[in-house]
């Protein structure tokens, strides 16, 4: 479990990690420890998702004192609207999800943020000393990043879609995740990442990953890059190769950041929800004086 130095003195926070196939609901008490979790398949239809979530939350937490509910969603989220989430159902576009979910529990504030950004927040804040700049990269079906500056989600990068960067690779311009994501690995090597043991193959995969990182690192210049997602789980198979490739190609005045594996790949999002929630509550308390 992550090390949490919690200043949260409320009653309960409810965190919701909405994935393309499953949704995970967890609660956190004032000690910062995760309570029991509930998991169920994510309904593909937004209205059905809302109905299911409301039913589960009210049945489980309706009689509890909940200070806030923090919801993580995949895709591009702007002003409480899921503008684009291709991996949920048949693809969500322009879904006013915040409006649909604002009354999950009467009187309880609902917060919404992108799942990868929250995962990055969870990983950065779980470190013993939070680095000044952390870039979390999730390499799974697709690729996404979360940039954390001084322990907060970088607002300037909130809409970033690194997986859709256009990069020349193999003689043509392609989106980054088209050749370096978990889905691309399966298409090229006919195996899932967990099945690949060949050092030569992992060197090739590291080279694919490096193409996007060689664009991102000079722009963001993070102190640490954290690798999450399903491919991040196998960091030990390609980490050294990737560091060598990046060090060789980065300009001399731009050092290769520390590359690390996510410590809690299965729980990073809900812990990020927790930190996001306690920051929000602290801000509200400060406003009240």
Q: pLDDT tens digits for 176-192?
A: 999 999 999 999 999 99
Please report where in the chains the tokens 């812990």 appear, as a residue: 271
CB atoms closer than 10 angstroms to residue 21 = 10
Asked whether the predicted pLDDT for residue 205 surpasses 90, the reply is yes
Predicted local confidence at residue 6, as pLDDT: 57
CB of 247 within 8 A of CB of 214? no
pLDDT exceeds 50 at position 199: yes
Phi first, then psi: give them for residue 82, nearest 5 degrees: -80, 100
Q: Is the pLDDT of residue 98 over 60?
A: yes
**Cα-Cα-Cα-Cα dihedral sign, residues 152, 156, 160, 165:** negative
pLDDT at 4 over 70: no
Mean pLDDT of 38-62: 93
DSSP calls for the chain: ---------SS-EEEEEE-SSEEEEEEE-TTS-EEEEEEEEPPSSHHHHHHHHHHHHHHHHTTS---EEEEEESSEEETTEEEEETTSTT-EEEE-HHHHHTTSSTT--EEEEEHHHHHHHHHHHHSSS--SEEEEEEESSSEEEEEEETTEE-GGGTT--GGG-EEEETTEEEEHHHHHSHHHHHHHHSS-GGG---HHHHHHHHHHHHHHHHHHHHHH--SEEEEEHHHHTTGGGTHHHHHHHHHHHS-TTSPPPEEEE-S-TTTHHHHHHHHHHHHHHHHHHHHH-
Question: Does the structure show a pLDDT above 60 at 97?
Answer: yes
pLDDT at position 91 is: 87
CATH number of 13-115+266-288: 3.30.420.40
Asked if residues 281 and 8 have their Cβ atoms less than 8 Å apart, the reply is: yes
Q: Provide the sign of the torsion angle of the four alpha carbons 84, 81, 212, 244, taken in this order.
A: negative
pTM of the model: 0.89
Candidate ranges 85-94, 157-166, 247-256; pick with highest mean pLDDT = 247-256
CATH number, domain 120-261, options 3.55.50.30, 3.90.1170.40, 3.40.50.720, 3.30.420.40? 3.30.420.40
Report the candidate in 239, 244, 118, 232 with the shortest Cα–Cα distance to residue 182: 232
Task: Output 31 or 118, whichever has higher pLDDT.
Answer: 118
Q: What is the model's pLDDT at position 10?
A: 64
Nearest to 124 by CA among 112, 137, 111: 137
What's residue 286's pLDDT?
86
Determine the average pLDDT of the residues in 254-269: 91
Q: Are 124 and 131 in contact (CB under 8 A)?
A: yes
Conformation bin of residue 50: beta by default, left when phi > 0, alpha when psi is -120 to 50: alpha
Identify the residue with better confidence: 5 or 56: 56
Hey, which residues does 138 pair with through a beta bridge? 144, 228
Alpha carbons 40 and 178: distance in angstroms, whole number: 29
In whole angstroms, what separates CA 19 from the centre of its chain? 10
Sequence spans of domains, the chain: 13-115+266-288, 120-261
pLDDT (average), residues 60-83: 91
Tokens of 112: 């919404």
pLDDT number for residue 287: 84
**Sign, CA torsion 74/142/262/230:** positive
Q: Do domains 13-115+266-288 and 120-261 have the same CATH topology?
A: yes
Q: What is the pLDDT of residue 75?
A: 86
Percent of the chain's residues with pLDDT above 90: 75
Contact by Cβ (8 Å): 96, 102: no
Q: Bigger pLDDT: 10 or 101?
A: 101
């Amino acid at each position: 479990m992550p090390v949490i130095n919690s200043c949260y003195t409320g009653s309960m926070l409810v965190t919701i990690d909405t994935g393309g196939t499953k949704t995970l609901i967890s609660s956190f008490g004032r000690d910062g420890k995760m309570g029991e979790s509930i998991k169920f398949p994510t309904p593909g239809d937004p209205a059905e998702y809302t109905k299911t979530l409301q039913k589960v939350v009210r049945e489980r937490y309706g009689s509890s004192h909940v200070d806030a509910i923090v919801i993580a969603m995949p895709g591009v989220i702007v002003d409480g609207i899921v503008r684009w989430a291709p991996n949920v159902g048949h693809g969500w576009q322009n879904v006013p999800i915040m409006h649909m979910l604002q009354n999950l529990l009467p009187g309880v504030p609902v917060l919404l943020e992108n799942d990868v950004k929250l995962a990055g927040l969870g990983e950065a804040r779980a470190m013993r000393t939070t680095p000044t700049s952390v870039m979390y990269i999730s390499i799974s079906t697709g690729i996404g990043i979360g940039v954390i500056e001084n322990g907060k989600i970088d607002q300037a990068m909130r809409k970033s879609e690194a997986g859709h960067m256009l990069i020349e690779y193999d003689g043509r311009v392609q989106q980054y995740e088209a050749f370096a994501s978990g889905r691309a690995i399966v298409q090229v090597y006919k195996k899932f990442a967990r099945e690949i043991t060949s050092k030569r193959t992992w060197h090739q995969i590291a080279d694919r990953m490096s193409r996007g990182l060689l664009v991102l690192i000079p722009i963001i210049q993070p102190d640490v890059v954290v690798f999450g997602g399903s491919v991040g789980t196998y960091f030990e198979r390609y980490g050294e190769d990737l560091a060598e490739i990046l060090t060789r190609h980065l300009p001399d005045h731009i050092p290769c950041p520390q590359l690390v594996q996510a410590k809690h790949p299965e729980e990073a999002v809900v812990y990020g929800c927790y930190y996001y929630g306690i920051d929000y509550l602290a801000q509200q308390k400060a406003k009240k004086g």
